[in-house]
């Protein structure tokens, strides 16, 4: 089973309090700078602390650089006893950037940061549960394989691929992942994957891990999902979607519904969004686990 990391902000539920073996991805801009992993009432199974480059780049006033990002990551993760992956500051390539010179300029920044990060990481004497995660950037076969080869040489513990979140076509996402894995092998992290269908395909490719904020986004949109079979409902008639309205809860063995199945049907408050997100995450993970089991049953 691939590792599924839930994206977490400091106003979200502590998913691992409800669901054992939960992996968490914390993006620097999504937590207070004074926050620390020891504030988790239950430690996650694995932790990724990424740089939150997309947010940082859209807020130039934050004036972040690689060494500032690294120091913040150290403060946030200090005392972590679980496998903890730290990412360098990368330079994402949004779909609007298509000029080859611009793309390579961004990749050069990503590589320079990655190089500086590895120096900081290796000289920090971190405990052995800390690992380095390099983020490959690019938007074509040539740029992605170039970046992947350069990153491969830097000695990261693990590599990942970024800039996929804003892409909506599954085939484009899968092509990019395939190009990268032709250099790195499938043992990579794929950042920002939201769709269940893409997640399933990545699992079939043998990808190591993915992360997603989808369970929370669905919850905020006043929608709920159920697994096996996969079903998608809105809980408020005001949601402008052609989705069926769920008027009464369906039997569910997630920890929220076991307590009170009506909690996930309440709209309008963050605490109910949080409960709905736990429920949604439970079902997303269950669907992925089922895909994994049936794939390995037919491909022993
Ligand atoms: Zn439930």
- The per-residue pLDDT string of the chain (300 residues; one tens digit each, 9 = 90 and over) reads 889 999 999 999 999 999 989 999 999 989 998 999 999 999 999 999 999 887 777 777 777 899 999 999 999 999 999 999 999 999 999 999 999 999 999 999 999 999 999 999 999 999 999 999 999 999 999 999 999 999 999 999 999 999 888 888 999 999 999 999 999 999 999 999 878 899 999 999 999 999 999 999 999 999 999 999 999 999 998 887 789 999 999 999 999 999 999 999 999 899 999 999 999 999 999 999 998 888 888 887
- Residue 274 to residue 272: CA distance in whole angstroms: 5
According to the model, what pLDDT value does residue 165 have? 82
Distances (CA, A) of 95 to 10, 98, 178: 29, 7, 18
Please list all protein residues whose beta carbon sits less than 5 angstroms from ligand 1, which is an ion: 252, 254, 257, 279
Please give the distance, rounded to the nearest whole angstrom, from the Cα atom of residue 5 to the centre of ligand 1.
Answer: 19
* Distance separating alpha carbons of residues 135 and 73, to the nearest angstrom: 16
- Give 170 Cα–ligand 1 centroid separation in angstroms: 28
CB–CB of 133/154 below 8 Å? no
* The pLDDT value given to residue 243: 92
Tokens encoding 119: 């120096």
DSSP, res 37: G
Dist. CA 195 → ligand 1 center (Å): 20
Query: What CA–CA distances, in Å, run from 216 to 18, 78, 97, 244?
Result: 15, 27, 28, 19
8-state DSSP, 238: T
CB 151 within 8 A of CB 183: no
Q: What sections of the chain are H helices per DSSP?
A: 15-18, 53-58, 66-77, 100-122, 141-153, 170-184, 196-204, 214-220, 255-259, 270-298
**Rounded CA separation 155/133 (Å):** 10
Question: What is the phi/psi pair of residue 135, to 5°?
Answer: -105, 115
Q: How far apart are CA 177 and CA 189, in angstroms?
A: 10
Cα of 209 from ligand 1 centre, angstroms: 24
pLDDT value of residue 136? 97
Ligand 1: centre distance to CA 24 (Å): 20
CA of 130 to the centre of ligand 1 (A): 34
Selection from 192, 195, 249, 251 nearest residue 218 by Cα: 195
Ligand 1: centre distance to CA 280 (Å): 7
Cα 98 to the center of its chain, rounded Å: 25
Q: Under CATH, which architecture does the 3-212 domain have?
A: Alpha-Beta Barrel (3.20)
C-alpha of residue 253 to centroid of ligand 1, in Å:
6
Determine the pLDDT at residue 298: 87
Q: What is the pLDDT of residue 263?
A: 96
CA–centroid distance, 64 to ligand 1, in Å, is 40
Strands 231-234 and 223-226: antiparallel
Q: What is the distance in A from the centroid of ligand 1 to the CA of 187?
A: 32
Token digits of residue 248:
């009464």
**8 Å CB contact between 78 and 35:** no
Domain boundaries, the chain: 3-212, 220-298
The pLDDT, as a whole number, for residue 153 is: 96
How many whole angstroms separate alpha carbon 49 and alpha carbon 131? 10
Is the Cα dihedral 51, 281, 274, 230 positive or negative?
A: positive
Contact 189, 48 (CB under 8 A): yes
Q: How far is 248 from 238, CA to CA, in rounded Å?
A: 16
Q: Cα 214 to the chain's mean position, in Å?
A: 9
* C-alpha 34 to ligand 1 mean position (Å): 33
């Amino acid at each position: 089973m691939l590792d599924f990391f839930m994206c977490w902000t400091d106003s979200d539920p502590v998913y691992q309090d409800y669901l054992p073996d939960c992996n968490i991805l914390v993006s620097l801009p999504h937590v207070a700078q004074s926050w620390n992993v020891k504030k988790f009432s239950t430690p996650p199974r694995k932790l990724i602390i990424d740089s939150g480059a997309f947010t940082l780049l859209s807020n130039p006033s934050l004036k972040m650089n690689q060494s500032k990002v690294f120091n913040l990551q150290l403060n946030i993760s200090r005392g972590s006893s679980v496998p903890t992956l730290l990412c360098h500051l990368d330079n994402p390539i949004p779909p609007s950037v298509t000029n080859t010179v611009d793309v390579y300029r961004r990749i050069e920044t990503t590589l320079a940061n990655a190089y500086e990060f590895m120096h900081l990481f290796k000289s920090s004497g971190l405990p052995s549960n800390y690992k380095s995660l390099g983020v490959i950037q690019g938007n074509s076969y040539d740029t992605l394989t170039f970046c992947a080869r350069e990153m491969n040489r830097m000695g990261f513990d693990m590599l990942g691929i970024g800039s996929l979140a804003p892409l909506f076509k599954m085939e484009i996402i899968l092509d990019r992942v395939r190009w990268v894995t032709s250099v790195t092998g499938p043992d990579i992290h794929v950042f920002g994957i939201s769709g269940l269908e893409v997640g399933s395909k990545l699992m079939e490719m043998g990808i190591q891990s993915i992360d997603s904020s989808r369970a929370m986004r669905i919850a905020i949109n006043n929608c709920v999902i159920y697994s096996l079979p996969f079903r998608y409902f809105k809980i408020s008639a005001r949601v402008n979607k052609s989705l069926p309205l769920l008027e009464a809860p369906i039997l569910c063995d997630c920890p929220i519904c076991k307590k009170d199945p009506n909690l996930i049907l309440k709209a309008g408050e963050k605490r109910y969004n949080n409960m709905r997100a736990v429920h949604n995450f439970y079902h997303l993970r269950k669907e992925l686990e089922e895909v994994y089991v049936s794939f390995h049953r037919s491909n022993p």
